[in-house]
Amino acid sequence: MSAQVAFAYACRNASDRVVKGRLLAASEEAALARLQGMGLSPISIAPVTDVGGLSREIHIPGLSKGVGLKDLAVMSRQLATMTSAGLSLLRTLNILAEQTENKVLAQSLGRIRTEVETGVALSDAMAKHPSVYPPIMVNLVRAGETGGFLEHALTSIAENFESEGKLRDTIKSALAYPVIVLLMAVVAVIGMLIFIVPIFETMFKDLGGELPLATQVLVVLSRTLVWLGPVLIIVAVFVAIWWRRNKNTDRVRRVVDPLKLKLPVFGPLLAKLAIARFSRNFATMIGSGVPILQSLGIVGETSGNWVLQQALVKVHESVREGRSIAEPLAAEPLFPAMVTQMIAVGEDAGALEQMLGKVADFYDQEVRAMTEQLTALIEPLMIAFIGVVIGGMVVALYLPMFSIFEVVK
């Protein structure tokens, strides 16, 4: 790969349309051979030399757009459609790399296409990009390659990611209004403390008189925020950077994830969300032909919660010893009795995939209903909180007026 060169090409496709793009190859002859293998008729090809200066893309660490579930769902469905239509895998990957709007995903598809051309399996090529393709996707593709049902596996991936994406969008849209209102309130309070309170403080000093306790508190907060504000911003930036780098480590998840489930209101919501994700992923992997032991390991890694992952480790040991899945789950407080009973029924009836799908659908609805209830509860509480805080600040600012009137008299 280090000896390969980027070539810019212009070709005609089967519809006699001009197609332009770039590819990596060891030589111009190898590039021509690749283009012809893709069913293209080369018009021109030349090494790329404008890779520096203003032609180079600027990437800001931490701000570049990543690959989301929607991007992976669309890519999987397109890959399944083109594969079922009889297009070769190499040509399909090349088309996706050129048409995908997400640059990170397009670059990874280009690299995967090059690796597949050298004889590497699609799943193995995806596994080399763990930041783009999650383990569940890699293993479902591997199962599809092994069993000869790659199209079905890709469709299952698309449906899985679409369902999870819709659930995430529901939660985000429901919580967007309260979060925006809270941020606006924080900005308003900070603005009043930094810009308005000092003006009133100067006016009160000129007029004389002793300030009430509430106004003195505002003045102290205003003075403190002038120097404490920049310090808090710097600390927040460092904490955000540290959190982004360490949030997925076991030592952090071991402490944070159990605390999340113990939160007064959001704990039950996060628990239901984790169960819905576990059930959906487990059903998808079983339905795609992935062995149960392998599925349990992958589902645990992609569960998003350390408590659930540790519970699935016990389930993995139980299944490996020839026992049931539901038995160790029943001993875990995270899983309600309804979930373990449905899994037990599914095991006995040989319909585990269907039961897990029903559990996932049920908890999807539970999460949506609970999110709507939380939104309906949070909105009036947020308005009342903002009214009390800002109203209290206004009252504290105008309280000295009464003592000033007495001084004037």
- Over residues 101-145, the pLDDT tens digits come to 888 888 888 888 888 888 888 888 998 888 888 888 888 888 788
φ, ψ dihedrals at 155, nearest 5°: -65, -40
In the DSSP assignment, the letter for residue 58 is P
In this predicted structure, what is the pLDDT of residue 369? 86
* CB neighbourhood size of 289 (10 A): 17
241 or 205: which carries more pLDDT confidence? 241
Q: Which residue has the higher pLDDT, 176 or 356?
A: 356
Q: How far apart are CA 138 and CA 129, in angstroms?
A: 10
Tens digit of pLDDT for each residue in 281-295? 888 888 877 788 888
pLDDT exceeds 90 at position 235: yes
**377, pLDDT greater than 90:** no
Q: Would you state the pLDDT for residue 58?
A: 43
d(C-alpha 375, C-alpha 86), whole Å: 48
Give the number of residues written for the chain. Answer: 409
pTM above 0.95, yes or no: no
Mean residue pLDDT across the chain: 80
Q: Please tell me which residue, 362 or 60, carries the higher pLDDT value.
A: 362
Torsion of CA 371, 376, 382, 385, to 10 degrees: -130
For residues 166 and 342, which has the higher predicted lDDT (pLDDT)? 342
For the beta sheet containing 41-47, the strands, ordered from the edge strand earlier in sequence to the opposite edge, are: 18-25, 5-12, 41-47
> Which string of DSSP letters, residue by residue, matches 208-255?
--PPPHHHHHHHHHHHHHHHHHHHHHHHHHHHHHHHHHHTTSHHHHHH
Is residue 235 packed enough to be buried (19+ CB in 10 Å), middle (13-18) or exposed (0-12)?
exposed
Scanning the structure block, which residue is given the tokens 């599925």? 295
